[in-house]
Amino acid sequence: MRWLRDRNRAEGPQGFIGFGISAKMSDSMRERLRMLPEGLWKHYREDAEADWEYAELQDWDPLEKAGEELDHIRYLALRVHRKQGELFSGGKLYKYYAVVTNRWDFDAKRLLEWHREKAGTIEAAHDVLKNELAAGVMACGRFGANAAWLRLAVLSYNLLSALKRLALRSC
């Protein structure tokens, strides 16, 4: 994450790279979320089993070191509460999730939606690569040959995706 936040990277592209990453729920973060005032939690969504709320952690960057010039980040938290009053494992009333990002162009709710929109898309691509384009079975025991095999599968996937978008758009 430091590499993504550093606009003057020694290796790789220079400049801003926006990201949204599911954060590991540490004990210190969970405790900080439990201590947030109720007024900071806002309605996110509701389904048949649970109510979802979100909040933004203010001025918290556990990775920041003095003297570093990194993009500022923000932590967004989701809190899930079951409607029937059932407790989560361990007798907990709430389940917490967090997202860390360096994007400030969206409000908190829109950023969480953007982050969740990505979920499932890469898994679908992996499924096609592995099961339809034979990337799940390597060609032999040589690293270089297997790398070439995987690259051909990815090129095939990209070509098929482009053909679908261009040729099937009018259908």
Nearest to 57 by CA among 17, 90, 28, 92: 28
- Whether 24 and 57 share a structural domain: yes
- Whether 58 and 112 share a structural domain: yes
Q: Look up the domain containing 57 and give its range.
A: 2-117
Q: Which residues of the chain have pLDDT under 70?
A: 62-67, 85, 87-91, 118-121, 169-171
- Whether 20 and 104 share a structural domain: yes
- Whether 108 and 125 share a structural domain: no
Ordered DSSP codes for the chain: -HHHH-TT-SSS--S----EEEEP--HHHHHHHHTS-GGG-EEEEE-SSEEEEEEEE-S--TT--TT------EEEEEEEEETT-PPBGGGBSEEEEEEEE---SS-HHHHHHHHHHTTTHHHHHHHIIIIISSTTS-SSS-HHHHHHHHHHHHHHHHHHHHHHHHHSTT-
Q: Rounded distance, CA 160 to CA 167, Å?
A: 10
- Whether 135 and 96 share a structural domain: no
| Domain termination residue (choose one: 102, 117, 132) | 117
- Whether 112 and 128 share a structural domain: no
- Look up residue 78 and give its amino acid: L
- Whether 132 and 105 share a structural domain: no
- Whether 40 and 90 share a structural domain: yes
- Domains identified in the chain, total number: 2
- Whether 107 and 129 share a structural domain: no
- Whether 41 and 28 share a structural domain: yes
- Whether 6 and 77 share a structural domain: yes
Rg (CA), the chain: 21
**Model pLDDT, residue 84:** 75
